[in-house]
Amino acid sequence: MSESLQHMDLVVITGVSGSGKSLAVAALEDAGYFCVDNLPPELLHAMVELQALNRITRIAVAMDVRSSRSLPALPAQLIKLKALGVQCRVVYLESTTEVLLRRFSETRRQHPLSRTHGGGEGRTALVEAIREEREMLAPLRDEALVIDTSHFRAAELHSHINTVLTIAVDQLTLVFESFAFKRGLPMDADFVFDARMLPNPHYEPTLRALTGRDQPVQDFFVERPAMGQMLTHIQQFLDTWLPMMQENHRSYVTVAVGCTGGQHRSVYLVEQLYSHYRATWPTQLRHRMLGISQ
C-alpha cells in the first residue's frame, strides 16, 4: 500500500467560511481531482488508502469548522501521510471581515458558528463568529498557502487555483503579488513592501494607461535610480532570510509589493522579482489589480 501512496497528490482546502472553498473545490474537480467536502480528519488516512486501491492518485478534501472537534487531528494526519510519500498541500482561503459580512448578507446563509453567538443575528454576532473561526483555524493557516479571495471573481479564483496546482511541494515556494494600497492590504502576505515613494508613471500622460509589464513603463523605471535601489534592497532582504525560512520547513512565502493603484510601480517590481527568483526557487506571480496569475 505504501508504494501506491507515493504517487498520491493530496490537496486540503480550508479557510474561513464565505472565502470561496466551494469554488476552489469545483476548480479542483474540473482539474481532475477526486473531491470530498467536510471529511472528518480522522478519516483522511483511510480515505486516501481507499482511493489508492481504486487507482485514484489526485484527491482534494475540504475541511473547515464544521469538523471543529476533530480539526486538531489534521496536522498529525498530514505528517503520517507525508511520511508514507503522499504529496500533501494545504490551501487556506481568507477574506477581509467586511467582504465576508457582505457575502453572508447577499447569500442570507448562516455562519457555521452562529449558534454560539446569539443565533447569528446581527452584525456583531457575525463578526464575533468570524473572529472565533479565525482563531480555531490559525494552526492550519500557519502551515498553508494562504490565498486572499477578497477581490477575486469566481473565474479568477478558478484560474488561480489551477495555477496553485503547479507549485512544487518539496521545497519552499515564493509567491510574488502586486496590489493597490487603496484597496487595502492583502491578507495572504508574509512580507509587504511599499513602493508609493517611488516615481509614478501615472503622472506621465503617455504612460498612464499602461502597466508595469509594458516596455515604455519599464524604460521609465530603468532611468530612475530609486527603483533600482528598492529592487536591490528587497532582494538583499529575501536572500538573507529565505534560506533560514526553508530550514524552518516553511512551504510557502508570499511577498506583496504595493503602490497606490497597483498598476505601475508594484507591478514592475513584482515582475522583476519573479524573473530574478524563478531560476532558483519554485515561484508564482499574481497581479491583483490586473487579474493576472501565473
Rounded to two decimals, the pTM is 0.77
What size, in residues, is the chain?
294
- The per-residue pLDDT for range 57-105, each reduced to its tens digit, is 999 999 888 776 778 788 888 888 988 889 888 999 999 999 998 888 8
8-31 pLDDT tens trace:
899 999 999 999 998 999 999 998
Contact 89, 10 (CB under 8 A): yes
pLDDT in tens, 202-226: 999 999 999 999 999 999 999 999 9
pLDDT tens for each residue of 120-143: 456 778 888 889 889 888 888 887
- Domains and their CATH numbers in the chain: 2-164 (3.40.50.300), 173-293 (no CATH)
Tell me the mean pLDDT in the region 253-263. Answer: 96
Residue 181: pLDDT band (50, 70, 90) is very high
Separation of alpha carbons 110 and 41, rounded Å: 23
**Which pLDDT belongs to residue 8?**
87
Looking at every residue in the chain, the average pLDDT score rounds to: 88
Share of the chain above pLDDT 70, in %: 94
Say which residues have a Cβ less than 8 Å from residue 259's Cβ, sequence separation at least 6.
Answer: 178, 180, 181, 194, 195, 196, 198, 200, 265, 266
Rounded-to-integer distance, Cα 132 and Cα 208, Å: 43
